[in-house]
């Protein structure tokens, strides 16, 4: 149990599908993040939310749409993806964007786009 739960663990979708990834944290943190980890590449930061407001968007294509309805939940809505979007998508939380709290990660969603 990591305190950060991601669902589903595995997802296979076609390029025309629409799906959503879900992340929930039980740590009382107020910042949440999406990272992407492609095969043989370092983790790439995608989005950062602090107190449900997006504070960082690292030039991510619009086919990825994040949503943070409250400080405990984070979604990543996917549509019209490409095969190169296949990757491990990791959610993390921390005590705050400011304040120096380390990241706590979930175990990720393994996404395959066919």
Partner 1 sequence: DAKTTQPTSMDCAEGRAANLPCNHSTISGNEYVYWYRQIHSQGPQYIIHGLKNNETNEMASLIITEDRKSSTLILPHATLRDTAVYYCIVRVNTNAGKSTFGDGTTLTVKP
Binding residue for partner 1, selected from 46, 74, 76, 94, defined by CB under 8 A: 94
Q: Is 14 in the site for partner 1 (CB under 8 A)?
A: no
Q: Is 66 in the site for partner 1 (CB under 8 A)?
A: no
Q: Closer to partner 1 at the Cβ: 15 or 43?
A: 43
Please list the residues that pair with 75 across neighbouring strands: 22, 67
Contacting residues for 70 by C-beta, under 8 A, at least 6 apart: 52
Binding residue for partner 1, selected from 11, 13, 27, 45, defined by CB under 8 A: 45
């Amino acid at each position: 149990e990591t305190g950060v739960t991601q669902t589903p663990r595995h997802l296979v979708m076609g390029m025309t599908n629409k799906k959503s990834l879900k992340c929930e944290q039980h740590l009382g943190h107020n910042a949440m993040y999406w990272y992407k980890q492609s095969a043989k590449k370092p983790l790439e930061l995608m989005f950062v939310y602090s107190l449900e407001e997006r504070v960082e968007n690292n030039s991510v294509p619009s086919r990825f749409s994040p949503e943070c309805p409250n400080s405990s939940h984070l979604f990543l809505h996917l549509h019209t993806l490409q095969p190169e979007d296949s990757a491990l998508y990791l959610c993390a939380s921390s005590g705050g964007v400011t304040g120096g709290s380390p990241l706590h990660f979930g175990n990720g969603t393994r996404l395959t786009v066919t």
